[in-house]
Amino acid sequence: MMMVDNTTISDELVREMVQNGVVIGHKKSKTHPKMKPFIAGNRNELEIMNPASAWNSLEAALEFLKDTVLKGGLVLFVATAPSSKKIIREAAQEFGYPFVDTRWLGGTLTNFTMLRTRVSYFEKLKERKEKGEFAKYSKKEQLNLDKETEKLSRRLSGLVLMKKLPDAVFVVDAEAHATAVKEANLLNIPVAAIVDTNDNPSLVSYPIFGNDHSRQSVEWIMGRVKDAMRQASVKAAEARAAKEESAAAGVKQE
């Protein structure tokens, strides 16, 4: 058993985290000073995060995400690296949440009105294409409209479901998405993020200490994130059903 800060985790869990590369960080030269308390050692020039600290941080983030889902909150998922964007996109789609899996557009949160204007324009353009309305234009104009639709689809399709500002933002690699984290912080939107040894954990509301550049590590962490959110979704659905049943019973009595 391993104990750090009164947190005990099993040897089996430690092995699982090590095998999935969850605790493997970057080279020591890239270590952020504020991550040093959560580093257990160094192997082959790579920092090794403390498994207990990593697990403890994950559990705290999971509780926050479950609470957000239970309250009917909206979570925005952000990941643009090849090793993680598909994982994040699929997680967001499972729960009907918005996501960013290409370049973060400045002002996505802080200039939300403008974002909604662009998304609305994209939706109308897409609808026109599906209805065959582009056919009335010249071939050159059709080509330009197709290119514009495709470009907007890559950038905005994941944000169509974000009708309002999110109640939480989930990020893979806080440093790579510093602008997203900064915008969320400016608007006091809590951020849960996978934070590697080169990141500043103090910029994130709920840092998850872990390897953010390995597909296997991100999949392991996201497996637990999805399990927690599924549990919360079931509880939220049960609560809504009970409320509706109670309301219906009240109407009958009247």
Position 251 confidence tier, pLDDT thresholds 50, 70, 90: low
- Average pLDDT value for residue range 147-162: 94
Answer whether residue 254 shows pLDDT above 80.
no
* Alpha-carbon span 169 to 137, nearest angstrom: 41
What is the chain's Cα-based Rg? Answer: 21
Answer whether residue 115 shows pLDDT above 90.
yes
Q: What are phi and psi of 100, to 5 degrees?
A: -125, 115
* Alpha-carbon span 196 to 47, nearest angstrom: 10
Nearest to 174 by CA among 145, 207, 148, 149: 207
* Alpha-carbon span 24 to 51, nearest angstrom: 10
Task: Look at the chain and count its residues.
Answer: 254
- pLDDT (0 to 100) of residue 250: 65
Sign of the CA dihedral running 187, 234, 227, 104: negative
- pLDDT (0 to 100) of residue 9: 85
